[in-house]
């Protein structure tokens, strides 16, 4: 963990030397975690592809169904 003090008095806290936190601070990737991550990405892509007219540009929560 590094802290950088800015001239305006604010600070930036940098985790994992600026690398991805799940790669820089974790010890390996259990297959279950990776499987969940990839599954969520595929489900989101299917949702956006099959219902593209229902989504504008933005951030959305993946449906539970």
pLDDT of residue 53 exceeding 90 = yes
pLDDT of residue 23: 64
pLDDT of residue 55 exceeding 80 = yes
pLDDT of residue 42: 94
On average, the pLDDT of the chain sits at 85
Model's pTM, two decimal places? 0.50
With residues binned 3-state (H G I as helix, E B as strand, rest as coil), the percentages for the chain, rounded to 5, are: 45, 10, 40
Contact 46, 52 (CB under 8 A): no
Mean local confidence (pLDDT), 1-24 = 85
């Amino acid at each position: 963990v590094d802290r950088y003090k800015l001239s305006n008095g604010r600070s930036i806290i940098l985790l994992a030397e600026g690398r991805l936190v799940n790669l820089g601070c974790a010890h390996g990737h259990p297959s279950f975690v990776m499987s969940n991550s990839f599954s969520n990405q595929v489900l989101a892509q299917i949702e956006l592809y099959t219902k593209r007219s229902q989504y504008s540009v933005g951030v959305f929560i993946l449906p539970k169904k």
